[in-house]
Amino acid sequence: MASATSSTVDPRTGGADVHLPDSARDLVKILVTGPFGVGKTTLIRSVSEIRPLHTEEQLTEASAQVDDLAGVRDKSTTTVAIDFGRISLPGGIVLYLFGTPGQERFRPLWDDVAYGALGALVLVDTRRIDASFDVLGLVEESGLPYAVAFNTFPDSPRHHTAGQLRAALDLEPTTPMVTCDARETDSSLDALLALVQHLIDHHPPENR
Ligand X SMILES: Nc1nc2c(ncn2[C@@H]2O[C@H](COP(=O)(O)OP(=O)(O)OP(=O)(O)O)[C@@H](O)[C@H]2O)c(=O)[nH]1
**Which of 55, 175 has the CB closer to Mg ion?**
55
**Which of 34, 85 has the CB closer to ligand X?**
34
Could you say whether residue 122 binds ligand X (CB under 6 A)?
no
Residue type, position 132, single letter: S
**Do the Cβ atoms of 67 and 206 come closer than 8 Å?**
no
Among 150, 151, 176, 199, binds ligand X (CB under 6 A): 151
Residue 25 CB partners (closer than 8 Å, separation 6+):
3, 4, 91, 92, 93
Residues 162-181 that bind ligand X (CB under 6 A): 181
> Among 3-11, 38-46, 111-119, 159-167, which window interacts with ligand X (CB under 6 A)?
38-46
CB atoms closer than 10 angstroms to residue 126 = 19
- Which residues make beta-bridge pairs with 57? 78
Residues 98-117 that bind ligand X (CB under 6 A): 101-102
Instruction: Tell the smallest beta-carbon distance from residue 43 to ligand X (Å).
Output: 7
Could you say whether residue 87 binds ligand X (CB under 6 A)?
no
In the DSSP assignment, the letter for residue 53 is B
CA 167 to chain centre: 21
Parallel/antiparallel/unpaired status of strands 177-180 and 146-151: parallel
Could you say whether residue 37 binds ligand X (CB under 6 A)?
yes
Could you say whether residue 36 binds ligand X (CB under 6 A)?
yes
CB atoms closer than 10 angstroms to residue 85 = 24
Instruction: Tell the smallest beta-carbon distance from residue 131 to ligand X (Å).
Output: 10
Q: How far apart are CA 81 and CA 90, in angstroms?
A: 30
Residues that bind Mg ion (CB under 5 A): 40-41, 79
Residues in contact with ligand X by CB under 6 A are 34, 36-42, 75, 78-79, 101-102, 151-154, 181-183
